[in-house]
Structure 1
């Protein structure tokens, strides 16, 4: 077994950290001992160091299987910027380039090689890998290998066969942020990992505040949120391409720098939008779930789900893209009961077998329960992943001090209307009848003759619809049926109609600012970082994370020794950037007014 002290030295001199983060030491000990192992750590927990540090210590090569080719270049740029020789091979390269890189790997020019799992489907490529001295195979996003996971990819199934064909018999390190106990077991079986070699640091993210916003005007909330958090970077997820396009248009129409990302965009446009987001040229990325796996951008401050995703695993993985640098960040779910229909439609239209379809419906039901629980949101998620915990004290449920309004009278009007319509219609028609709409469908079905027609005409139809969503989420109404569900009054709702139960609804949730305003020095350092990034054509976080810049504002280093004490500054970074950043710090100190003591 190699000495852990050597790993500690690489951690300090190359990456600029004094201490391992939770779980990193245990995983690296397994790797250095030659064990196959599984690391389950939350997004931003520092999984990549678990194979990057051993890669620097091994004589041979570390191969990293990573599912998104669009991000490999960024990962390799970040390693090269820290003085680590790394390269990638994927479908963006022509065959002569691939041969050139394989020859350089053979010659010992690189310590790390990133490849897409699809490469391992090729017998010719696996044969080429077999000629290389591979010591370690790191499988990133390892939950993709499991058919029980939320993001199963058939190409991952070729992994175990490819490993057997490598003469060096490299050890395997599987890494993931979201794995239920069932998925973890599946990963271990497929990759021949002893379950005793699993390191799970828990799924809690102490810097991530979870919020659910229910049955509000979501466009208004998003605009308010972006206004109070001006300058902060984030991702807004939507379930459909159409909604991504609509939201992007709305934001740019309000002069917010936003870009769209979905599988229907031309490759060039998608690539450009992703680059603009990574390079801090746009504030907000509006995307479907096609965006984000493996995104290394560390200064994403918020993730907003504008529509309900299909599973809690997918939600937590996407939410976890906020705050990878450990700074306070927020994950917000904007919930409307009607959005569940989109996910049901996806399930109904999919080609999965009946067993998988039923499992997908169960997972959607759990997502719905998360959105509607009155208890701690973090506790709900951790319990789902098999982990018990105390309430977090930070999520929107733990901190909910909003006043509750008595909406019993309006609730009775809605429930009475559903009864009068004999439970034959859905939310849209019920809201139209209550608001007194005059459209063709109302006239054709003589719905203006219903006794409850127009009894809420003093409110907007949209407001009535939101009240119906609230009553459905709270269990007074049930939405029944597949693509075109109808509303029915539940036994709980009958109690309200009889006057036995009162209905209270919390006031609308207000958008709040994430963090205090940044000081002037942080702004200057951020500007320098952006300029250097544009010159070198790498994303700004490759140079320094926001956390490193905040640390510089605290330490105020003006000597090389002091600059090396900043977390995230290794010797390579000092050599490349130390003078420029220290010059800005010195200039800022000399320009600050001196305090005058009063008498």
Structure 2
């Protein structure tokens, strides 16, 4: 078996500074790294942008053998390997994109000890050639990225992840096992530990909060107009617009193109060549906006996405937080906006009803279907809640925030609170009279006294509750029903049928059902609220902003010459730090966050030259 020399770095902090150019670790990183270096297994749940990659890349520099990283997406592997090679770390990937010759060359270089980190697709693990290769090298650590994929209760279950435990057993000598994910509920975490066979793992949840992200739910009458206006206000910024269907992607793409907006699109109905070209255009900053289904983005490490807009409501909080989390990976202020309409619920129910369970045991399929329906209801609650949006997300993932964030769409919005106790009792009476057989639309139409063939067919037009709220409006009643669901007075059963919950509290005359009503005309102007200076932009002078633009031009020039994404040269946060510190010597430049020895050697002097020229 080939063995490898221990890395040239004596400590994790030395490797962090020399390779990656950072002076200190982010919260949670150092404790995970120390646990790895002590030989412990790891399960770390850290939000997107919290620096999970460094938690296994830094110790890989210090461990004697190879770190094998199991990753589900080809584009993610390529991004990570490009970034490591740029930082001076020898790394490679093994997946279906390699030719036979490229694969053999990778194996040969690995045998010679050229690599410290190798990324591999889970589908490759159990192949005869890879098993033979893995047994003949020293593997110090196996890292499982996107570890929630191993759980059937996670949002991206991949059957190939189930081979990981068997692969580890085949190796003979068991390496350290580290697992990382951004979104995992308690059930999923327990499943990861059990499925991977983690031995007394060091367990870390750094918290799911992304302070630099602003969350907002809007219910515009015209979503297309909203998006056009938003893009006009955010010219030059990079963003992702997610749609639930290919049809919506194509329609919105055509609309923006007609408005001469540079935009890409991405969905499974396009050819592999088209998708790759569109993705590259976005990643390499040839286009600033991409419109896509949820097939896009999981493997994209683009750090300067300033906004993520969901044209339709996602089917679960896990999916939403993962997709929204692609904004602001560099830690700079970014926006996550969900455009909601009741039609979104219909679309998601249709997609769930047609979900493919052919490869899953029927009993498990039934459990997963019930889970999916519950997740959709939670996502619907997010769109209707008048409470703090950030707290709603954090509570779902098991956290217990003590106060509102004061910096989300709901916290900055003014509400009118109405006492709707009487209306609530009439809704409940209608559900009782219907024998709990119908959904919210039938119930609302009944109390509103709607004259429809469906109500006549089921006999609802003869109910005592028919028309008792005819002077109300449907939007108001929809908000009331959501409030009743949130407080447990009513429940949803199979097929979204409304059922009675705990209504005993309403017998107390002191109990009130208070409903907050959104008034879009009373939205607080968010620009007037002082923002936390997370990104450092607030400290730049007008001259600093001009230098920032100059440095971005140089970065783009280098990126296109090197055929790598601009953020792999230097991310926006590093350029901002250059503008603030104005380095003119090597030692000054190495003091800039994100500038390591290798990157200085490749690019440092060129950036110093621009900075010196700007000062003249």
Taking structure 2 as the reference length, the TM-score comes to 0.81
1:373 aligns with 2:385: yes
| 1:364 CA drift (Å) | 1.1
Native 8 Å contact 2:79 2:300 kept in 1:
no
Q: Does 1:275 align with 2:280?
A: yes
Q: Please report how far the alpha carbon of residue 150 of structure 1 lies from its aligned counterpart in structure 2 after TM superposition.
A: 1.2
The residue number in structure 2 matching 1:191 is 196
SS of the equivalent of 1:353 reads: helix
Q: 2:592 aligns with which of 539, 549, 566?
A: 566
In the TM superposition, residue 34 of structure 1 has moved relative to its aligned partner by 1.1
Q: Partner residue of 1:444?
A: none
SS at match of 1:354: helix
Give the Å deviation of 1:121: 3.5
Closer, same or farther: CA 394–118 of 1 in aligned 2, 3 Å: farther
Task: Report what 1:581 is aligned to.
Answer: 607
Deviates more, 1:155-164 or 1:255-264: 255-264
SS in 1 for 2:115: coil
- Please state how far the C-alpha of 1:96 moved relative to its aligned partner: 2.1
1:130 correspondence with 2:142: no
Say what the alpha-carbon RMSD is for the aligned residues.
Answer: 4.2
> Quick check: 346-355 or 322-331, which moved more?
346-355
Q: How does 1:516-595 map to 2 (within 5 A)?
A: 519-590=545-616
The residue that corresponds to 1:459 in the other structure is none
1:59 Cα shift? 2.2
1:20 to 1:392, Cα distance in 2 relative to 1, 3 A: farther
CA contact (8 A) 1:215 1:469 kept: no
How far has the Cα of 1:217 moved from its partner? 2.7
Pairs within 5 Å for 1:488-527: 505-508=517-520, 519-527=545-553
**Structure 1 residues 373 and 84, CA gap change in structure 2 (3 angstroms):** same
Asked if structure 2 preserves the Cα contact closer than 8 Å seen for 1:228 and 1:511, the reply is no
Q: Give the match for residue 266 of structure 1.
A: 271
CA shift, 1:127, in A, is 2.3
8 Å Cα contact 2:391/2:405 also seen in 1: no
The alignment partner of 2:125 has SS state of helix
CA separation of 1:119 and 1:424: change in aligned 2, threshold 3 A = closer
Q: TM-score, normalised by structure 1?
A: 0.83
Q: After the TM superposition, which parts of structure 1 deviate over 3 Å for at least 4 consecutive aligned residues?
A: 1-5, 401-408, 422-428, 464-476, 478-486, 500-505, 509-518
- The alpha carbon displacement at 1:394 in A equals 3.9
Q: Secondary structure at the match of 2:51?
A: coil
Structure 1, unaligned runs of 5 or more: 442-451, 457-463, 492-499, 591-599
1:556/1:123 CA distance change after superposition, 3 Å: same
What's the CA shift string for 1:191-232, capped at 9, x where partnerless?
222455112111111111111113543222222221111111
Equivalent position of 1:495 in the other structure: none
1:42 counterpart = 2:47: yes
Q: CA deviation at 1:468?
A: 7.9
Candidates 275, 290, 298, aligned match of 1:293: 298
1:436-494 alpha-carbon deviations (Å, 9 max, x no partner): 9xxxx9xxxxxxxxxx9xx99xxxxxxx9977866765669x999999999xxxx9xxx
Alignment length, in residue pairs? 568
For structure 2, list consecutive stretches of 5 or more residues without a partner in the other structure: 1-5, 358-363, 455-466, 504-511, 532-536
1:11-65 CA distance string (max 9 Å, x none) = 0011111111111111111111111111111101001011111111122111111
Q: 1:395 offset after TM fit, Å?
A: 3.8
Of 233, 236, 244 in structure 2, the residue corresponding to residue 239 of structure 1 is 244
CA contact (8 A) 2:264 2:282 kept: yes
Distance change (3 Å), C-alpha of 1:473 and 1:333: farther
Summarize the Cα distance change of 1:405–1:188 in structure 2 as closer, same or farther, 3 Å threshold: closer
Question: Structure 1 pair 479/231, CA: closer, same or farther in 2 (3 Å)?
Answer: farther
| Contact 1:77–1:538, Cα closer than 8 Å, also in 2 | yes
1:576 shift after superposition:
0.8
Give the stretch that moved more between structures: 250-259 or 35-44. Answer: 250-259
**Cα gap change, 1:124/1:468 in structure 2, threshold over 3 Å: closer, same or farther?**
farther
Q: Does 1:356 find its partner at 2:382?
A: no
Using the TM superposition, give the Cα deviation of residue 124 of structure 1 relative to its aligned residue in structure 2, in angstroms.
3.0
Alpha-carbon separation, structure 2, partners of 1:530 and 1:309: 34
Q: Distance in 2 between matches of 1:474 and 1:258?
A: 39
Larger deviation, residues 515-524 vs 318-327: 515-524
CA distance in 1, matches of 2:222, 2:575: 36
1:66 aligns with 2:71: yes
Check whether the contact 1:120–1:162 (CA below 8 A) recurs between aligned residues: yes
The 10-residue stretch of structure 1 (2-11 or 173-182) with the greater mean CA deviation from structure 2: 2-11
Give the corresponding residue for 1:334.
339
Hey, what's the Cα distance between the residues in 1 that align with 2:513 and 2:92?
A: 65
Q: Which residue of 2 aligns with 1:171?
A: 176
Quick one: structure 1 residues 579 and 200, their matched pair in 2 at CA, closer, same or farther if it must change by over 3 Å? same
Q: What is the CA–CA distance in structure 2 between the aligned matches of 1:220 and 1:345, rounded to whole Å? A: 26
Q: Provide the secondary structure at the position in 1 that maps to 2:108.
A: helix
Mapped contact 1:244–1:260 kept (Cα < 8 A) = yes
Partner of 1:230: 235
CA distance 1:211–1:199, shift in 2 (3 Å): same
Distance 1:42 1:504, change over 3 A: closer
Q: For residues 182 and 271 of structure 1, what CA distance do their matches in structure 2 show?
A: 35
CA contact (8 A) 1:35 1:197 kept: yes
Contact 2:81 2:92 in 1 (8 A): yes
